[in-house]
Structure 1
Amino acid sequence: MDLDAYVAEHGGEWRRLGQLCDRRRLDAAEVDELVALYQRATTQLSVLRSRSPDPALLAELSQVVLRARARLTDRPGFSWAAVRRFVLVGFPAAVWRAAPWWCAVATGFTLLTFTLIGFVADNPDTAAAFIGDDEAAQLVDSGFAGYYTEFSAPTFAFHLWTHNAWLAAKCLAAGVLIVPVGYLLWQNVVNIGVVGGVMVSYGRADVFFGLITPHGLLELTGVFVAAGVGLRTGWAWIAPPGQLTRGQAVARAGRDAVVVAVGLVGLFAVSAVIEAFVTPAPLPAMVRIAVGASAWLGFLGYVLLLGARARGHPTDQGAAGDVDLEVAR
């Protein structure tokens, strides 16, 4: 094998491969060229290893091949543009598309909860059947209000954040089975309905609604969104759109669910801070409720206005719930 002739024939390709590896961004044609040159260089390196004793040449070409491989297989680094696109387009668009589902969940949950509160309040014996007379009295005297001050605010906030995020994750993951989501929601209906009914029956409705409303508006909305998106995934399996297979429909809805799951982490962080620091604060109830209502209305305005606008976004794959992938940067 004439080593000099072989290097003269292919050296230009190796240099070009190295140049492509050094570029920060590549267009589609350059990516195709990078792939082709990488494939040829790996073959040529194999030939040299079997026929050439020149260690310097082998080391130089090996380095170029490794750089090309790393460029083709490495994941994109952190990008503020991707974060901005997620916050302004991806997440609100995914929530917007599931709006009929989570609005229906919110309506049904609210009706069932207030119905149960009214039933328990009008039938005091029901409360005793659920939690017992002594426990009901203790709940009214100090248990309900004391729940919000039992732990230090930072510890309480972290506990609430992880608990609510886990509940939302279960709703999203179990949505394809439909029934588990209904069970999780029913547990919350019973919990709030019974406690609220007991407080109302003992004449402490002001305490109950004054403490649960500031954080409950935002927190429960996050749960409703998670449940609605989860149920939407399940319905995609049951009745996929005509132009999609069942697997494609579930995959599309599932990608939306992943986007929503990430976004709800931030929502539950805000609701946890409100519940830990604002709900038990020594402020008039209307002030605390105003803080919670402002955060709730801000979230609704954010997802509905930006979500509606994102439907026709021309540059974002994330508007369809997909992850924006870049092959080369």
Structure 2
Amino acid sequence: MDLDAYVLAHSHEWHRLEELAGRGRLSGSESDELVERYQQVATHLSVVRTSSPDSHLIAYLSSLLARTRIKLVGTRTSTWARLGRFFTHRFPAALYRLRWWWIGTWVANVVVMAIMLLWLLDHPSVEQNLLSPAEVDQLVDTDFESYYSENPAQSFAARVWINNAWVAALCIALGVLGFPVVVLLFNNLLNVAVIGSIMIRHDRGDLFFGLILPHGLLELTAVFVAAGFGLRLFWSFVEPGSLTRAQSMAHEGRTAITVSLGLVVVLLVSGVIEAFVTPSPLPTWARIGIGALALAVFVLYVFTLGRRAVAEGETGDLSADLLEDTVATQA
């Protein structure tokens, strides 16, 4: 294809679309023309990509189509509508579609943590190698409990939220490599198991579980969700299915971004619980009950809204209008 001739033949259509996209209010006929021109230019972009790829022209047409999309959907309405749909469709659909990945990760980690805890309880010499008797006494008597109340609740909640969001983001980001996610999870589990074994051995198991479970039920679930999606991203490279590896990783990568954004809110909830409920004077059963309720709401959210969204065709990936414009063309 003669690219110069093609540009000469269609540049007036591109300039017209640029003019319409840059205007304020459009009349009914102009709005119809905007849609028609958008479809034409999307076809032109596909032709250029297929027949005579030129990076500058492709960038120009892609940018023009992106501006036109914003014009077509309307910025303010689109923003709020998309935000609502994100939490009612896209995020829960991603969680439900790949539920067995994060549920499997959750179960495996709970089993490993239990094994670690039981093994450490049967091998008290490990504790002696890790901490001195004075350090153990300080942990059991003051440090573990004071950790949740030594700072103002608001700043503590913010710090916990940022830290947990960072851990979840690492699980997803490192997922493309696979093994680093396992190492990250193992280190976190080992830390919890060591502290738990020390507290239980010194007859403070009720304090340990009373402080770790209220926020930990939802918090650790969120981390396991992130790890599950990270591992799924790795598997999309190993076994891409009917897609190419690039397509498979792009699809699951965009879904993982969806999950990471949604988990920010989930971890905010667990951070609030950790800052305001965990150290509160409420009885232990009430604090654990609040944590269990938060987890139950999350699971209900996934298996009601998520199942419904998947049934409607949602996958957790970006909606089609936010992906690259691809239009079928004849060879």
TM-score, structure 2 as length reference: 0.78
* Distance in 2 between residues matched to 1:19 and 1:199, nearest whole Å: 65
Q: 1:322 aligns with which of 307, 318, 324?
A: 318
Aligned to 1:33: 37
Aligned to 2:303: 304
Deviations 1:227-247 (A, max 9, x none): 000000000001111x11111
RMSD across aligned C-alpha pairs, in angstroms? Answer: 2.9
* Distance in 1 between residues matched to 2:178 and 2:305, nearest whole Å: 28
* Residue 218 (structure 1) shift: 0.3
Aligned to 2:26: 23
Aligned to 2:51: none
Q: Is the contact between residue 21 and residue 68 of structure 2 (CA under 8 Å) also seen in structure 1?
A: no
Q: Show structure 2 runs of 5+ residues with no match.
A: 1-11, 42-63, 324-331
Deviations 1:189-223 (A, max 9, x none): 11100000001111111000010000000000000
CA spacing shift, 1:326–1:184, aligned 2, 3 Å: closer
User: Which residue identity lines up with residue 99 of structure 2 in the other structure?
Assistant: A
SS in 1 for 2:189: helix
* Residue 132 (structure 1) shift: 2.9
CA spacing shift, 1:28–1:193, aligned 2, 3 Å: farther
* Residue 121 (structure 1) shift: 2.0
* Residue 320 (structure 1) shift: 3.9
* Residue 36 (structure 1) shift: 6.8
Identity %: 40
* Distance in 1 between residues matched to 2:21 and 2:175, nearest whole Å: 49
User: Which residue identity lines up with residue 247 of structure 1 in the other structure?
Assistant: A
* Residue 31 (structure 1) shift: 2.2
User: Which residue identity lines up with residue 23 of structure 1 in the other structure?
Assistant: L
User: Which residue identity lines up with residue 290 of structure 1 in the other structure?
Assistant: G
Aligned to 1:276: 275
* Distance in 2 between residues matched to 1:70 and 1:108, nearest whole Å: 44
Deviations 1:64-113 (A, max 9, x none): xxxx9995385862422111110011000111122111111111111111
* Distance in 2 between residues matched to 1:149 and 1:308, nearest whole Å: 39
Moved more, 162-171 or 110-119: 110-119
User: Which residue identity lines up with residue 188 of structure 1 in the other structure?
Assistant: N
Aligned counterparts, 1:43-122, within 5 A: 71-72=67-68, 77-78=75-76, 79-122=79-122
* Distance in 1 between residues matched to 2:36 and 2:118, nearest whole Å: 67
* Distance in 1 between residues matched to 2:191 and 2:27, nearest whole Å: 55
* Distance in 2 between residues matched to 1:179 and 1:146, nearest whole Å: 35
* Distance in 2 between residues matched to 1:70 and 1:235, nearest whole Å: 32
Deviations 1:252-283 (A, max 9, x none): 11011000010000001000000000000011
* Distance in 2 between residues matched to 1:113 and 1:27, nearest whole Å: 60
Q: Is the contact between residue 130 and residue 194 of structure 1 (CA under 8 Å) also seen in structure 2?
A: no
User: Which residue identity lines up with residue 251 of structure 1 in the other structure?
Assistant: A
Aligned to 2:289: 290
CA spacing shift, 1:215–1:24, aligned 2, 3 Å: farther
Aligned to 1:139: 139
Aligned counterparts, 1:157-236, within 5 A: 157-236=157-236
* Distance in 2 between residues matched to 1:168 and 1:115, nearest whole Å: 23
User: Which residue identity lines up with residue 112 of structure 2 in the other structure?
Assistant: L
* Distance in 2 between residues matched to 1:275 and 1:156, nearest whole Å: 9
Aligned length: 282
CA spacing shift, 1:19–1:142, aligned 2, 3 Å: closer
* Distance in 1 between residues matched to 2:280 and 2:99, nearest whole Å: 33
Q: Is the contact between residue 21 and residue 67 of structure 2 (CA under 8 Å) also seen in structure 1?
A: no
SS in 1 for 2:318: coil
